[in-house]
C-alpha cells in the first residue's frame, strides 16, 4: 500500500485547526464579560453568568424537548421508510424499477425552495398548519431520495446468496429484509440516522414556514429569536450558540467511526 506524502499529516493538522478555530473562538466568547471587544480571543475574565442568562432568557428546556421529539420522530421515520424503499430498489425485480429509481434520484436536483409553496399549500389544505405533521410526515414517506440512494448502494453490497438461501428455507421478503439485510446494514443505517438527526436539529426553514406557536418552536428557530433579542449582548448570544452546537459535536465524535464506515461501504467515497 502506498504511503501518504510526508506533508500530508501536517497539512491535515493545519486544516483541522482552521476548522476548529471558529468553534474555539465561540467557546471563549461565551465567557466574555459585557463590554469586551468581539475581536479579542481570550476573555478578560471568565463570565459564567452568560450561560445562566441564556438559559433564563427563554424557555430553553421546552425548545430542547421540541427539538428532541422532532429528531426522534424524523430519524425513526427515515430509517423505516427509506430502508423499505431502498430494499425494493436493490433486491426486488419489478417492471419499471430502474426508470422509477432514476426519477427518484432526479428529485434530488430540486431545491427546497422550488417545492416550498406547493407543500405549504398542501399541508395548509389538510389542516396541518402550526402542527408538527409537516415537519415529520415526509420522513415517514421516504421523502429524502439521498437516503434511499445511500441505503440502496449498501444493500447491493450484501451477497445475494444470503437471500437465496433464506428463500430456499421458506423465508419471505419481509423476513429476509428484517432478519438478514437490516442487521448487516447497521453502518449505513447509523449514517442515515446521523445525517437525519443533524438535518432536523439544524432545520430552520421548516419551523419558520409551518409554526407560529412559540411553545412549539425547536431549538434552531428559538436560537434565531434569541439572536434578534440579544444581538448587542455578545456573551449570552455565544453561550446559547455553544449549548446549541455542543450536542451535535458530541454525537459526531461518538459516532464518527460508524459514520466513516457507512460512507466507505456505500460507494460514496472518492
d(CA 259, CA 192) in angstroms, rounded, equals 9
Q: How many CB atoms lie within 10 A of CB 86?
A: 26
Domains of the chain: 50-264 (1.10.3720.10)
Provide the whole-model pTM: 0.86
The 10s digit of each residue's pLDDT in 104-132 is: 999 998 888 888 999 999 999 999 999 99
Comparing 50-54, 98-102, 139-143, 212-216, which segment has the lowest mean pLDDT? 50-54
The predicted-structure confidence for 183-193, as pLDDT tens digits, reads as follows 999 889 988 99
Please check the confidence at residue 268 and state whether its pLDDT lies above 60.
no
pLDDT band at 270 (very low <50, low <70, confident <90, very high): very low
Three cell numbers written together for 87: 430494499
Q: Quote the pLDDT of residue 5.
A: 67
The string over 64-73, giving b where at least 16 C-beta atoms fall within 10 Å of a residue's C-beta and e elsewhere, is bebbeebbeb
Which pLDDT does position 33 carry in this prediction? 84
DSSP secondary structure letter of residue 3: P
Task: Give residue 8's pLDDT.
Answer: 76
pLDDT tens-place string over residues 23-42 = 888 888 888 888 776 667 77
In this predicted model, what pLDDT tens digit does every residue of 217-250 receive, in sequence order?
999 888 887 777 766 677 888 888 898 888 888 8
pLDDT band at 269, cuts 50/70/90? very low
| Residue 145's pLDDT band (cuts 50, 70, 90) | very high
Whole-angstrom distance, CA of residue 137 vs CA of residue 44 = 48
Q: What is the pLDDT confidence band of residue 261, given thresholds at 50, 70 and 90?
A: low
Amino acid at each position: 500500500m502506498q504511503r501518504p506524502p510526508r506533508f500530508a499529516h501536517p497539512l491535515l493538522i493545519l486544516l483541522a485547526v482552521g476548522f476548529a478555530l471558529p468553534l474555539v473562538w465561540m467557546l471563549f466568547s461565551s465567557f466574555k464579560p459585557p463590554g469586551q471587544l468581539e475581536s479579542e480571543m481570550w476573555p478578560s475574565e471568565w463570565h459564567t453568568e452568560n450561560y445562566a442568562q441564556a438559559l433564563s432568557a427563554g424557555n430553553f428546556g421546552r425548545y430542547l424537548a421540541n427539538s428532541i421529539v422532532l429528531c426522534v420522530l424524523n430519524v425513526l421515520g427515515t430509517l423505516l421508510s427509506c430502508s423499505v424503499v431502498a430494499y425494493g430498489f436493490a433486491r426486488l425485480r419489478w417492471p419499471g424499477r430502474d426508470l422509477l429509481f432514476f426519477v427518484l434520484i432526479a428529485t434530488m436536483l430540486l431545491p427546497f425552495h422550488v417545492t416550498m409553496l406547493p407543500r405549504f399549500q398542501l399541508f395548509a389544505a389538510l389542516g396541518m398548519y402550526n402542527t408538527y405533521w409537516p415537519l415529520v410526515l415526509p420522513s415517514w414517506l421516504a421523502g429524502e431520495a439521498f437516503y434511499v440512494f445511500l441505503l440502496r448502494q449498501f444493500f447491493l453490497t450484501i451477497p445475494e446468496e444470503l437471500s437465496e438461501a433464506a428463500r430456499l428455507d421458506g423465508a419471505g421478503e419481509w423476513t429476509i429484509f428484517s432478519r438478514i439485510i437490516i442487521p448487516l446494514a447497521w453502518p449505513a443505517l447509523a449514517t442515515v440516522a446521523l445525517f437525519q438527526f443533524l438535518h432536523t436539529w439544524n432545520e430552520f426553514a421548516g419551523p419558520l414556514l409551518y409554526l407560529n406557536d412559540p411553545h412549539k418552536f425547536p431549538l434552531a428557530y428559538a436560537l434565531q429569536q434569541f439572536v434578534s433579542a440579544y444581538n448587542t449582548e455578545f456573551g449570552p448570544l455565544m453561550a446559547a450558540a455553544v449549548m446549541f452546537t455542543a450536542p451535535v459535536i458530541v454525537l459526531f465524535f461518538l459516532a464518527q467511526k460508524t459514520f466513516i464506515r457507512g460512507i466507505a461501504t456505500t460507494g460514496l467515497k472518492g
